[in-house]
Amino acid sequence: MRSYVITLATILVSTAACAQSEEWPLTESAPGAVAYIASPSNGEVVSSPFKVQFALLGMGVAPAGVEYPDTGHHHLLVNRATPVMTEPLPSGEPDLLHFGGGQTETTLTLEPGQYTLQMVLGDQDHVPHDPPVMSETVTVTVK
């Protein structure tokens, strides 16, 4: 499994920017699909760098650009409010990390402080599913 070191100032894993459109078709999520951050736990105190592991039940992981039923790829929000869920998640932003290769974990390097982490599953075009498949927000403190 490959890991990536990511800072809030630099994204080492990125995908091509999605062209804007007036209307995006929404991909239906599998009934009962659940996404969560398996590690770290909510409230955990971590040392930087630290590993973040994504988990998904009821759906599979596929790289961006691959259209296959009941699959998607992960996006990690770091200290970011939930984005618009009816258009592609923006790329090239340091607080919204794309894992278009189908990665299921990453390593973050963050300065000391408190951070929120949330995972959102995107379809082949980076658009959240309908209904959205996303984790609860996890708060970590980097010492």
Between 2.40.160.20, 3.10.129.10, 3.40.50.2300, 2.60.40.10, what CATH number should domain 5-12+35-142 receive? 2.60.40.10
Q: Does this model's pTM top 0.75? A: yes
Task: Say how many C-beta atoms besides its own lie within 10 A of residue 103's C-beta.
Answer: 20
Q: Measured between alpha carbons, how far apart are the two ends of the chain, in Å?
A: 26
User: Alpha-carbon distance 15 to 34, whole Å?
Assistant: 24
Q: Which of 93, 97, 143, 100 is nearest to 119 (CA)?
A: 97
97-129: pLDDT as tens digits: 999 999 999 999 999 999 999 999 999 999 999
10-20: pLDDT as tens digits: 333 333 333 44
